Amino acid sequence: MTVLNNRVSCVAAACAFFTTSAFAENPTLTNPAISAVLDGYYQNTERPMAERGEGFGLGHTEIAMSANIDDMFYGKLTAVIEMHEGETELGLEEAFIQTLAMPGGFSIRAGRFLSDVGYLNNQHVHTDAFSDRPGAYRAFLGSHYFDDGVRLNYVAPTDLYWTMGLEGFKGDSMRAAGGEHEEHEGHDHAEREYKNIGVYTAYTKLGGDIGNGSWQAGLSYLRNENGRMVEGEHEDHATLAAGHEGHDHSHSATFTGENTYIADFVYKWAPNGNYKYQHLTVSGEYFRVTDFAPLEDGHDNDEHSADSVDDMQGWYLSSVYQFSPNWSAGVRYGETDVQELHGNHFDAQKLKETEVSLAWHHSHFSTVRLQYTNQKGTNYFGIEDDNVLTLQYVMTLGAHGAHQF
């Protein structure tokens, strides 16, 4: 987020990124904004569904290029380089165009981009105050959900910041377990036919100012047409997660359902109205995932009836205080409750994570972070209790835009 001289303004910060005029700045096709973000770390052990492994490694290292194409369109390309099991992997996280001159507060984005559901998802992971996304994000959105699709966004002409939008995506990374032609317990199952447009989302966000602080709250809905398992797909989620990680580090969701509901909020406060020197950020999100049990002949299977299986859910609460221009400290607690399919029944699993971080910022472009995580699991990928230590650096090179609110 940019430095504000007098006060933190949610309206100004949010509109700077959600209105089309925000892109009409200096970078052009002959002089594009080019940047790189270097993310390196050392971690003493692994975390479930996390991108960072044990030992030294590269995290979410990215190279980005953006520019106004002309007076009607803006474009951005973001490539991501990561290390996974000793191999270097190159992925494409963003490759989209966005309109600049649509009337009435409307804009359209098309290509590959981060979905705007929830609070954290539309932000690049290097902007986070912790080394990994909360457990709910890792379980239900593959850490951060980006996909090929289209978005229609609208910013209302109100005193409060109010935006709403609709998205449609291909949804490959959000598909439920199974789907390949396989033999299971003596039965031959044909290949499942997935829908080409698998994910639809709808969201709305409101924000405003209170004294020296600003707030934003949002509600999101994600409809996953391929999110429910079908009868005969008895591959458990642990196997699914391992399979996804072994296939191009695809950031696929480990646990899915047809319906995902998200509520989020964030509050930012600067004691003297100057965000640069001191500020407090309090944020939280709640996820609820429903309708994931297998269907039999298009109807709820009695063995997996929704009445007998609890909905999956997850939440976190985070507080980060930058007590000087160069130092910040944060604490975050989260729980994730999921259902893992074994044979013809579900097993409830729970993960609790308590995290404390201390970060040194020599400038807006360099961060060194030390983080401690205590994780407690109940049948969660075999994890009982574990302590994770992570030492991370995040360095930005080149022209890099301001962060979102």
Residue bearing the bigger pLDDT, 202 or 383: 202
**Domain range for 309:** 102-182+192-398
What pLDDT is stored for residue 277 in this prediction? 81
b/e per residue 198-229 (b: at least 16 CB within 10 A) = bbbbebebbbbbeebbbbbebbbebbbbbbbb
What pLDDT is stored for residue 273 in this prediction? 74
Residue bearing the bigger pLDDT, 189 or 1: 189
What band does 403 get if pLDDT is binned at 50, 70 and 90? low
46 in a structural domain: no
Q: Which residues contact 270 (CB under 8 A, 6 or more apart)?
A: 7, 8, 212, 213, 277, 278, 279, 280
**Average pLDDT estimate for 206-230:** 93
173 forms beta bridges with: none
111 in a structural domain: yes
383 in a structural domain: yes
Residue 224: give its domain's CATH number: 2.40.160.10
**Average pLDDT estimate for 25-41:** 81
What are the tokens at 401?
């835009």
| Chain centroid to CA 323 | 27
Mean of the per-residue pLDDT values for the chain? 83
What band does 89 get if pLDDT is binned at 50, 70 and 90? confident
**Please, are residues 251 and 271 in contact by the beta-carbon 8 Å criterion?**
no
What pLDDT is stored for residue 401 in this prediction? 65
What pLDDT is stored for residue 125 in this prediction? 92
**What is the total count of domains within the chain?**
1
234 in a structural domain: yes
